[in-house]
Amino acid sequence: MKRPASLPLAQTVLRLLLTCNGLFGAGILALLIAMLAAGPWTFTALGVPPSPETLSLRQGMAWVAVLGGLATLLNHAVLVRLKAIVDTVQVGDAFVAANARRLRDIAWVLLGLQLLGLAIGAVGEAVSRPAYPLHLDAGFSVSGWLAVVLSFVLARVFAEGTAMRQDLEGTV
């Protein structure tokens, strides 16, 4: 069976995404360290001067950074599993139990990412003030929740495909 040309491209894109995600995580970690080590200066540089009326906003921003760091770890989990799936497809062995497990794990992680997005959006809404608005691209995502459902369905399809393949191999 001829392998699609898109698989090497997918592998390259996933390696690039893993690298970018790692750099993003390092950036968030650096921001958190700056918030802890040089809080007043860091927040002033971010446009939030240290004062009693901005305390909740500064705390919220720190929490958003922590949750963003957690999101990079969850993204890493998805990308590593997706790369492993693409690797098995590359060698012509997609319908294996490991891929069904990987897809199920991806679905659970995507669910976690959607809940994390809701939490980040809630923090942003709670600490945003008219004088110091905090605009975050977080909260409910129809496409994100669709990806969760789709991933669970695909995990089940792969599990069924694996079972059918094993049954077929057992009858030959």
- Determine the pLDDT at residue 2: 64
Give the C-alpha distances (Å, rounded to integers) separating 100 from 6, 53, 115, 141, 169. Answer: 21, 51, 23, 25, 18
pLDDT tens digits, one per residue of 88-134: 998 888 889 999 999 999 999 999 999 999 999 999 999 988 888 88
Rounded mean pLDDT of the chain? 91
The mean pLDDT of 25-44, rounded to a whole number, is 90
Are 54 and 44 contacting, i.e. CB atoms less than 8 angstroms apart?
no
Q: What mean pLDDT do residues 22-47 have?
A: 91
**Of all residues in the chain, what percent carry a pLDDT higher than 70?**
97
- pLDDT tens figures, 149-171: 999 999 999 999 888 887 777 77
User: Residue 10 pLDDT > 80, yes or no?
Assistant: yes
The pLDDT value recorded for residue 144 is 95
* Cα 155 to chain centroid, rounded: 18
Q: How far does CA 83 lie from the centroid of its chain? A: 14
> Confidence band (pLDDT; 50, 70, 90) for 135?
confident
pLDDT at 42: 87
Give me the pLDDT at residue 93, please: 81
Domain boundaries of the chain, sorted by first residue: 6-171
Greater confidence (106 vs 54) lies with 106
Task: Tell me the angle at which helices 142-171 and 97-127 cross, rounded to the nearest 10 degrees.
Answer: 170
> What integer pLDDT is reported at residue 50 of this predicted model?
83
Helix, strand counts (H, E) of the chain = 5, 0
